[in-house]
Structures are given as C-alpha cells and as structure tokens.
Structure 1
Amino acid sequence: MVLIGAAIITKTGKPLLARVFISDMTKARLEGLLDAFPKLIASEKSQRQHTFIETDSVRYVFHPLDNVHVVLITTKASNILEDLETLRLFSRVIPEYCRSNDEKEIQANLFDLIFAFDEIVALGYRENVNLAQIRTFTEMDSHEERVFNQIKIAQERAANELMTQKAMELKKLKAEQRKSGRTLGSSATAISSSSVPLTAIIDDTPMRSAVKQAPATTRESSKALKLGSKNTDDDHFVKQLRREGQVVETSLRVSDTADAGDRTASEIGSSTISRAPVHIKIEEKLSASVSRDGGLESGEVLGSASLLINGPQFATVCVQISNNDKHGAQLQVHPNLDKKEWLQKSLLKLKSVQKPFPVNMDVGVLKWRLILNNEEMLPISINCWPNENPDGCVVNIEYTLQTENMTLNSVVIIIPLPPATVPVISECEGTYEYVRSRSQLVWNLPVVDESNKIGSLEFSTSNGQANHFFPITVRFTSADLFCSMAVESVQKMDIGETIQYSTESHLITEKFEIV
C-alpha cells in the first residue's frame, strides 16, 4: 500500500486540510487531484454505492462525515481493504481532536490533525498504531520535565519550612534573652555554632541558596534540612514513578542511615553488586506482541554477555561458560574471539594476545537471539475481558505465571483507559494507581512466583469501548534467563591462573504488549 496523500474537503469542494506523504508529489499535482475529486463524485459514472473512485493514475478512497469528506489518495495498485481500514482510522481521528465536524472547528485544530495524520502514515506506508497511541504520541508529554518540576517544588517547600522553623527559633531565643537581660550579640557565638549556620537564618538569601547550604550541616543535627523527607507529596510522586517501572535518580533521597547525607546521587543510584577485577554481565531483553484473542503475533529474546576488565593485567583472560540453553537460540561470538574454542568447549578466548580486551570498558563478547514460537514460551500471560454494558464497561484482567521456575520482580501492567474516565476498582491483588495525565491504570505486583502465580484485577468505567483498554503494556525484571548461561571460571590465557570474577544476570522487557 502506497498512500499519496490525505485531505479533508467540504462537500462543496473546498479543501480544508491536505497532507502529502511522498516526496515526489508537487503542490500543483496535489491541487489538481483535489480539484478533480468533487467533479468525479458529481459525475453520473460515480453514482454508485461505493466509497472509492478510480482514475487512470490514482484511486480516491473517501468517507462522508457530516458536511465534509475525508479523502485518501492512493496508487491503483494498493490494497483496497487496507485503504478502507486506514480511512476508518483517519475518520476516527477527527472527532478525537474536534468537538464537531464543521468547517470552523476543523480549521481551529488543523495542526493537531496534521500531527495525528503524520503518526498514521510515514513515507506513504501505514504505521501500526491505534487511536490511543496517536493521542499519546501527539501529546508529547515529558516525563522527565514532570519529575524535574516535582523535585524543584519539593526543594522550595523544604527550604520554606526550614526558614520558617529557624525564624521561630530565633524569635524564641530573642524572647528568652530579653527575659534574662542579655543581648543577642552576647550569644552570637553559641548561635553560630549550632547545627545550621547563622547566615542561613538571618541572611535574605534566595531559596536556591538555602538549598545548597543544607549539606554543610552536621550529622548530629536532628533538625537538618531533609529535602527528600518521606512525608512530602513529592517523594510520594517519585515512589509512584518507581512503582511504574521508571528509573528516577535524584539527590533528594534520604537514607535511613546517618551516612546517607554524605553520598552523591550517582552513588545512591549505582549498583549494589560488588565487582571483582573481572566482571561479567549477562542480559536478556524480551520483546513480544500478543493478540488480545490469544496467540503470539511476534516475540523474540535478544541476549548479550559483556566483560568489564579493571586492570591491564587481566586483559587476556578467557571465560568458561556453562551453556544450558534448551530453546535452540542462535549464538554469535565476537570476531576477536576464537570461534573454534567456543563451539568445542564453550570457552570465550581471544584469538591473539596481541589484541587484549579494553580496560575499564564494557565490551560485548557473546550475543544470542531466540525466536518465540508460541505464547506458552512467555513467562507470563495476560487475559483481558472488557464487558460493555449500558452503564459503561467492566474489565477483568488476569495474569498467569507460565514459567513456574522463574521469579518476576517489579511487575507493572499498564492498562489504557477512555479519556477523562476514573476507574472504580472492585478487586485487586497487589496495588494499583490511576495516572490521570496519561489516562492509564497501573497495576503493580512486587513479585510474581509460584506462591502467587495467578492474580486478577477488576474495575469498571462509566464509558468506553473494548478497544479503549488496549494495548496493554507489561514490564518486569527477573534474575532468571530464557537461555541459561552461567560463568564457570575465569583464567589467564598464558599461565592458566584462576582469576577472581563477579557476575550479574537479568532479564528485562524491551516491549511486551497485548494488542
């Protein structure tokens, strides 16, 4: 299917919007095609029960929408069934962005419609998107900006609270000094030696400066500035983001230990794994698309193993791998490694010591690809049943752990909702959150294993159709891999000396959707 352009034309023949999707279509040529369309509709030849018209060079596929026509111009060789399906999506976009189908309303939302059209078609070919995805893409909501703004508000709120608290302390101190007949100056030394410097109390410094001075306080102070206090609304927001599976690194975190205030944000966000002189990282990424009616549409697992060497004396090591893969994954070793040694012994060994591993840099040594043939190969399955009724929709969602020897952590199931609809939860295993800005219901499960391999969520909405609740996105992590790879030993190539090593392995979801 090659889609030349799309247009919205009044029934009198006036073009309100036109968008070309191929580069070799000139403006004059497009105007000629649009001018010919009303004449073709009015001709006797076109008086038939069809919504397409063919000329010698192009095909018009159109849909009447009140006082306008939504028109697609395609090549004659394109698939008419795909054309009609694309036309239906174009027709649904207009009521999504316009309150009515009249000329003024469409002209007031032209750019929104153009952006939406561009999400449907790219370079003349239909994109695999639905209406909910188009709305998400065109909103261009910045998750990072919202996080930054929430953190900034928390900083300002905490600084205000500190200033108010210290002002009250200073006022109380002055009152006590007046009672005892002393002046403020006689106790200036005592004040300045408190847990917060005197300048932080009496100087009219900006809010940002007060925040920067906070780390200078001593650890013994019980009234130090706690920007990441757990009882603030912003920290609740950051926790919510983490439950959604987002990684949020911020310098506002406060640990339960006394030494947490001295650590930087990068140290707090760093991995807790203790790394040896040779560190091997094994990672798999799962991508899958599952039909809502059952059946795997596409699925694959991409795996990789990388080495991190922290000294030149370890740059010529060889790694013995235990390959217990039972799925028949396609494996490839790095060109600088001896492929014969890998095939015979599962040994990752350099071809030549003259080309050692780079130091202090992750270098990939092995990668594999596993094609998933059926839905049963997925670790978890999601079953969604939206039931439409006159009062709205009742939605039942059930998960089932299919691979019982796997433990899934931080499982997040994201269900799209109809716009401006608040769900009413009647049953939930785990926790849930309603994200109003994205019209999403987020179902969180900390761990899914044999002890809770089946769980369900039931909620209702006041409006909506079954299509509003798809695609469902699933995210999780796991220490268990599809292709069981493990490190048996690490040795130096020349002398065979055993080297201390550390490993980490995990499975993450790249894109897992029920469509």
Structure 2
Amino acid sequence: MVLLAAAVCNKGGKAIISRQFVEMNRSRIEGLLAAFPKLMNTGKQHTFVETESVRYVYQPLEKLYMLLITTKASNILEDLETLRLFARVIPEYCRNLEESDIVDQAFQLIFAFDEIVALGYRENVNLAQIRTFTEMDSHEEKVFMAVRQTQEKEAKDQMRKKAKELARQRQDAERSGRAAGLGSGGFGSSSFNRGSDTTSIIDTTPMEPVKPAYNPPSRPAGKGKALNLKSRKQDVDSFVGQLQSEGEKVTSVNQSTNKAMAKVATPAANQEGVHIRVEESINVTAGRDGGLQALELHGIIKLKVNDEKLARSVLHVINNDKKGISLQTHPNIDKKMFASQSVIGLKNPEKPFPIGQDIGVLKWRFTTQDESFMPLSINCWPNESGSGCDVNIEYELEQEDLELNDVQITIPIPSGVGAPVVGDCDGDYTYDSRKNQLHWTLPVIDASNKSGSMEFSVSGHPDDFFPVNVSFVSKKSYCDIQISDLRLLEDDSPAKYSSEVCFYVDKYEIV
C-alpha cells in the first residue's frame, strides 16, 4: 500500500487540512481534492472512486469527508482499515466535526496522521498508542516545573526577608546615630556632626540587589564529599504534594513503588542491632492473547548495622529457590564461605560492616519466558457489541505460595466515551475520568481467592483497552530466599536481628 495523502475536506472539495506522505506540490494536491466531489456518484454506496492515476477512499464525517488518496495498486482492504483509523482519530481532538474545530486542532491532527503513516506506508499502531505518542506526558517535566516555581517562590521570600533585615539594620543605625548626637551635648556640635556623618554614610550606601536564585541547604561540616540526597528527596516530595494540592494527580512507577515499600518497611524504632532487608522487584511483559514475552526479577539482601558491637557478624542464608536464579555476592564478601556454607561474612574480618548504612551483600537475577513463572496472569477479553465493547477481565494467581497485597489492575478507557458501566466485580473499582483509566483494586490475593473477574461495558474498540497495568506488593519472597540466623564472628554466639521482605512491581503490563 502506498498512501499519497490524507485530508479532511468539505463537500465542495476544499481542503481544510491535508498531509502528504510523498513528494507532491500544493497545486497537485489541491487539484486532486477539487476533482473529488465531481467523481462521486450519489446513487451508489461505494466508499471509493478511481481515476486513471489515483484512488479516493473516503468516509463522510457529517458535513465533511475524511479522504485518503492512494495509488490504484494499493490493497483496498488495507486502505479501508487505515481510513477507519483516521476517522477515529478526528473525534479524539475535535468534539464538534466543524471546519473551525479542524482548523484549531490542525497541528495535533497532523501529528496523529504522522503516527499512522510513515513514508506512504501504514504503521502498526492502534488508537491508544497514537494517543500516548502524541501526548508525551512527562512526570519529570511536571516535577521540574514545580521545582522551578517553588525555587522562585523561595527566592522571592528570601529577597523580602533580606530587604526587611537591611531596612531594620538601617533604622537601628539611624536611631543609634541620633541617640549619640543628642546625648553628648556638652561636647558641642562636633559630636552631633559625627552622628550625622554616620547617618549619611548609612543612607548613601547602595543596597546590594538580592538575586532571585535558589539557595541550596547548607552542607554539614565535615570532610566528606558525598552528595546529600535527603533534602532533595524532601523537596521533590513537597513539589509533588504541591501538584496534588493544585488538582494534579501525580502517579509514577517510582512513586507507587515507594508507597508499596513503605507499607511493608520496618520502622526504625522497631529495628534491632542488625536489620536485614530482602528486596525483590519484577518486570513483566505479557501478550494479550496469552504467553509471556519477558519476565525479569532482581533481588538483593541489604544489611544495616545499628549497633557497633554487631559490626562483625555473619549471616546464614537459606536458598529454597527451584527456579534457577543467578546469585552474586558483594566483592567484600567471602565468596568461598558463601558457596560452601551459605554464610555471608566479610572477606577481611578486621574490617567491620559500616554503621547505620544499608549495605547490599547478596543479589540475584532471574529471567524467563515461561508463563508458568508469572506471579499473576491477567486475561482481558474485549468483545465488540452494537453499542461498543463488553469487556471481561480476570486474574489467576499462578504462584499459590505467594500473598499479594494492595493489588491494582489498571485498564485504559477511550477518551470522550464517559464512565464504563461495571457489572460483576470481585473487589472494588474506581474510574479516573481525567486519566481515562478504570482501576480494579483487591486488598489481598492468595490461595483462598486465587482467581477473580470483572465485567464492564463502554464504547470503544478492542485495542483501546490495552496495555493493562498491574501493581502489587508482597511480604513473601518470590525466589524464597530466607534468613535463618545471625551470629557474632568472635564467639559464634547468636545475635538479635530484625528482618523484612518486600517483593514489589517495577513494571507489569499486558500489551
């Protein structure tokens, strides 16, 4: 298929917008569009007409036409499928199919046209992908703009404080000058003149302009050169909070991950002299028709010594994994001792673990394309009906030894069609009209409720309901790595420790 041009024109053949995908001059495309209405036969129901050189494939849009100009050698079935996609793009940007709306959204429509066709050939995209590509919504940009606004506000506040401070200093100097001049009358006018001189010097000293720049928090005294990330994290959290207070619902993978990890994290007050954290993150991409495209899991054991007396400890690990994970110890850990005894200890016993820092001592990685290893499988079945689509979506817990908490399954909804009508639903659901997303939430998924489903109806095309995104958190390790014991290196006596496990989603989508 070679698509020459795509245009929206009125019934008189006047081009409102036109996008050429091959080299064509303006007079040529205007001539082709002007000839189009004369070739149409009102008595027939065909949606295409042909000339000696080109083929017109069209679809009426109230008072307008969505028109494709192709070569005669192109496949008419592919042309009609492409035309339907073009016709569905128009209402995404124009509420009323009027010439004024088309002109107002001309650039957005042209950008969308370019996502459908490249160099005359159809791209393999659907409406949801086109919407994503053209929006290019950036969470980082929003945070950056909020950061800049907050910095400007802080700079203005700092400028006002500085100006008030300088004004107060000048007033204090004026009052002290006047008091010195009046209180020394016995010395004649010379003392008064000194006071006047002091006052005039202060008055004539130019005030140094305060630059509206961001003043970073002062570094603590010391020789260390490490970057202090704590204040930056607090700033970003406050900026995200400002966005939310202004009605902006800010969500991201990192933010969801932080919330999930916070729910299972052990508070600092409840940590023992040694705190051990087993952390796993998973990335899954699965197909809508079944099958696993990619599964990648990263795990790590972090050790935090809170008591200096326990800085020379060894950690006993039990590896119950049967999936075939790849383990790797930190360079400062004795690899031979771990390989032979499954004990994590320092290679150099004279050099203890750092105090008060999270130290990664063991990490592992697992990749597969076997769908039996998926923690949770999702089946989404959109079926076209006369009024739109009936969507059935179900989940199945594949690893029955896991317990998934705060599970959220997010299904995209076409824009401009309103809220979906939800029928049967296991769990709860909410519809985010601003993001055009249906959130299906379940507090817990385990062996007692390892499957569930939801049904809803809404206008749209089956491709509009993908990709489906999943998030959850678990207090059980996916690879079943456990901590059995902690002992002191000096006398092999047991030591108290606290531990936690956090298994969470980095990315989990059905495309």
Q: For each residue in 1:349-392, what CA deviation from the matched residue of structure 2 results, as whole angstroms up to 9, or x when unmatched?
A: 21113543222121211111111332121122111111111122
The answer to whether 1:413 aligns with 2:397 is no
Q: Which residue of 2 aligns with 1:496?
A: 492
Whether the aligned pair in 2 keeps the contact of 1:333 and 1:339 (CA below 8 Å) is yes
Whether the aligned pair in 2 keeps the contact of 1:67 and 1:102 (CA below 8 Å) is no
Q: Which residue of 2 aligns with 1:374?
A: 370
Q: Which residue of 1 aligns with 2:200?
A: none
**In the alignment, residue 286 of structure 1 is paired with which amino acid?**
I
Q: Which residue of 2 aligns with 1:333?
A: 329
Give 3-state SS (helix, strand or coil) of 2:493's partner.
coil
**In the alignment, residue 298 of structure 1 is paired with which amino acid?**
A
Q: In 1, distance between residues paired with 2:116 and 2:274?
A: 48
Offset of residue 445 of structure 1: 0.9
Alignment equivalent of 2:442, drawn from 442, 445, 448: 445
Whether the aligned pair in 2 keeps the contact of 1:433 and 1:441 (CA below 8 Å) is yes
Q: Which residue of 2 aligns with 1:140?
A: 137
The answer to whether 1:433 aligns with 2:418 is no
Offset of residue 115 of structure 1: 7.3
Whether the aligned pair in 1 keeps the contact of 2:15 and 2:30 (CA below 8 Å) is no
Q: Call closer, same or farther: CA 1:484–1:117 in 2, change over 3 Å.
A: farther
User: Where does structure 1 lack aligned partners over 5 or more consecutive residues?
Assistant: 1-5, 20-32, 52-64, 71-84, 149-233, 250-266
Q: Call closer, same or farther: CA 1:308–1:17 in 2, change over 3 Å.
A: farther
Whether the aligned pair in 2 keeps the contact of 1:411 and 1:477 (CA below 8 Å) is yes
Give 3-state SS (helix, strand or coil) of 1:438's partner.
coil
The answer to whether 1:389 aligns with 2:374 is no
Offset of residue 504 of structure 1: 0.5
**In the alignment, residue 359 of structure 1 is paired with which amino acid?**
I
Whether the aligned pair in 1 keeps the contact of 2:315 and 2:485 (CA below 8 Å) is yes
Offset of residue 7 of structure 1: 10
Offset of residue 303 of structure 1: 1.0
Q: Which residue of 1 aligns with 2:300?
A: 304
Give 3-state SS (helix, strand or coil) of 2:314's partner.
strand
Give 3-state SS (helix, strand or coil) of 1:313's partner.
helix
Q: For each residue in 1:106-136, what CA deviation from the matched residue of structure 2 results, as whole angstroms up to 9, or x when unmatched?
A: 6533564687699999xxxx99985435535
Q: Call closer, same or farther: CA 1:36–1:116 in 2, change over 3 Å.
A: closer
Q: Pairwise CA RMSD of aligned residues? A: 4.9
Q: In 2, distance between residues paired with 1:332 and 1:127?
A: 43
Q: Which residue of 2 aligns with 1:365?
A: 361
Alignment equivalent of 2:482, drawn from 482, 486, 496: 486
Give 3-state SS (helix, strand or coil) of 1:294's partner.
coil
Give 3-state SS (helix, strand or coil) of 1:337's partner.
coil
**In the alignment, residue 451 of structure 2 is paired with which amino acid?**
I
Q: In 2, distance between residues paired with 1:334 and 1:347?
A: 13
Whether the aligned pair in 2 keeps the contact of 1:15 and 1:34 (CA below 8 Å) is no
The answer to whether 1:454 aligns with 2:451 is yes
Whether the aligned pair in 2 keeps the contact of 1:9 and 1:15 (CA below 8 Å) is yes
* Residues paired across the two proteins, number: 359
The answer to whether 1:512 aligns with 2:511 is no
Q: Call closer, same or farther: CA 1:135–1:67 in 2, change over 3 Å.
A: closer
Q: Taking structure 1 as the reference length, what is the TM-score of the superposition? A: 0.57
Structure with the greater alpha carbon radius of gyration:
2
Give 3-state SS (helix, strand or coil) of 1:437's partner.
coil
Q: In 2, distance between residues paired with 1:342 and 1:127?
A: 52
Q: In 1, distance between residues paired with 2:292 and 2:484?
A: 35
Q: Call closer, same or farther: CA 1:418–1:35 in 2, change over 3 Å.
A: closer
Equivalences for 1:29-428 in 2 at 5 Å?
34=23, 47=53, 66=66, 96-98=92-94, 108-109=104-105, 112=108, 131-132=127-128, 135=131, 138=135, 140=137, 246=256, 271-272=266-267, 274-420=270-416, 421-428=418-425
Whether the aligned pair in 2 keeps the contact of 1:66 and 1:101 (CA below 8 Å) is no
Give 3-state SS (helix, strand or coil) of 2:338's partner.
helix
**In the alignment, residue 431 of structure 1 is paired with which amino acid?**
D
**In the alignment, residue 430 of structure 2 is paired with which amino acid?**
E
Whether the aligned pair in 1 keeps the contact of 2:128 and 2:464 (CA below 8 Å) is yes
Whether the aligned pair in 1 keeps the contact of 2:415 and 2:436 (CA below 8 Å) is yes
Q: For each residue in 1:149-178, what CA deviation from the matched residue of structure 2 results, as whole angstroms up to 9, or x when unmatched?
A: xxxxxxxxxxxxxxxxxxxxxxxxxxxxxx
Q: Which residue of 2 aligns with 1:152?
A: none
Offset of residue 494 of structure 1: 3.8
Q: Which residue of 1 aligns with 2:73?
A: none
Offset of residue 281 of structure 1: 0.6
Q: In 2, distance between residues paired with 1:89 and 1:316?
A: 66
Q: Call closer, same or farther: CA 1:268–1:381 in 2, change over 3 Å.
A: closer
Q: In 1, distance between residues paired with 2:98 and 2:494?
A: 78
Q: Which residue of 2 aligns with 1:261?
A: none
User: Where does structure 2 lack aligned partners over 5 or more consecutive residues?
Assistant: 33-51, 58-64, 71-80, 147-243
Percent of counterpart pairs with the same letter?
41
Offset of residue 140 of structure 1: 3.5
